[in-house]
Amino acid sequence: MFIVTSYTQAIIFCIITMICWGSWANTQKLANKSWRYELFYWDYVLGIFLLSLLFAFTLGSHGELGRPFVADLQQAKGSNICNALLGGIIFNAANILLSSAISLAGMAVAFPVGIGTALILGVLINYIAAMQGNPSLLFAGVACIAVAIVINAFAYKRMMKNQQKLSSKGIFLSLLAGLLMSLFYRFIASAMDLNNFESPAIGKMTPYTAVFIFSCGILLSNFIFNTLLMKRPLAGSPLRYSDYFKGNFSVHLVGILGGIIWGIGNSLNLIAAGKAGPAISYGLGQGATLVAALWGVFIWREFKGASKQTMLWLGFMFCLFILGLLLLIEAGK
């Protein structure tokens, strides 16, 4: 199977993760013009699952190092399979809440608040589990990102001061999503032998197998979480399964593309974790907050009409995010 062999390569993979995780929601924005996000989400989850299969039977099955996908799946311990499944279930609950927050508050707010919260707590959880990297630099970087999140929320409040009810609901859902999102990575990482991808311990899984099981957890739990959301939506009227089949091919394709984009980032991030360590790999990947904010501000124009002072605050936020990410990279050296 394909394995990352250097820290530099791992950082490149984490940067790609950052771009993927920060960009997938653009497909939701595109689909939302004519398609409810609950229906979009079925295609999104399908895209994640299909990508995990593709990687498992290509990168995860060819090469001289590590165990090929099928053999690795057959020898995996039940407890590790359960951990990866649970990681998928937790992620799905968090991501559905994040999708709801995006529909209410926009990408420029939902991502910095939700994923920023997940970054702070997730780095702490993963560092405690596997103490890899310089803790001073690591947590200094996290602190910079935490301040950037507060600044973003402040800028949003100034911009939306006449829509406080809507903004409060979106921010609350973003925070709740972030709390859950901080937990999923630890479960999937615990199912793998992060210290030796070349010859993993018996019972542990390679990243490709763990990602496949994780994706199964997302797909299976979606029949519970998304069904409940369709019956009791946060906004709009209830939906039926038959509504999903009313969408045209291009609408479904956009959702699947969104899942594939996120899935590529997720797979590359876990492949990189062997060299960068789970805390740094996760933290850099969740720099997606910065990418999503850039999309929201400059492409979707979610801060159009904001005052000059508000835009200065946003500029300061971006600078702090970049500084925090650079500190995370340095911490891994």
pLDDT of residue 107: 63
End-to-end alpha carbon distance in the chain: 25
Q: pLDDT at residue 97 above 80?
A: yes
Mean pLDDT of the chain: 89
* pTM tops 0.85: yes
Tell me the pLDDT tens digit for each residue of 252-281: 999 999 999 999 999 999 999 999 999 999
Q: How confident is the model at residue 305 (pLDDT cuts 50, 70, 90)?
A: confident
Per-residue pLDDT at 212 = 98
Please say if the pLDDT value at position 165 is more than 80: no
Tell me which residue of 212, 210, 300 sits closest to 22, measured CA to CA.
Answer: 300
Q: How far apart are CA 287 and CA 293, in angstroms?
A: 10
Mean local confidence (pLDDT), 51-71: 94
pLDDT of residue 102 exceeding 90, the answer is no
Is the pLDDT assigned to residue 174 strictly greater than 60? yes
Q: Return the percentage of the chain with pLDDT > 90, whole number.
A: 61
Between 300 and 69, name the one with better pLDDT. 69
Provide the pLDDT for residue 252: 96
pLDDT for position 292: 79
**Percent of the chain at pLDDT exceeding 70:** 96
Quote the pLDDT of residue 160: 65
Whether the pLDDT of residue 166 is over 50: the answer is no
pLDDT of residue 164: 47
Residue 67 predicted with pLDDT over 80: yes
Q: Is pLDDT of 162 > 60?
A: no
Work out the average pLDDT over 131-146. 91
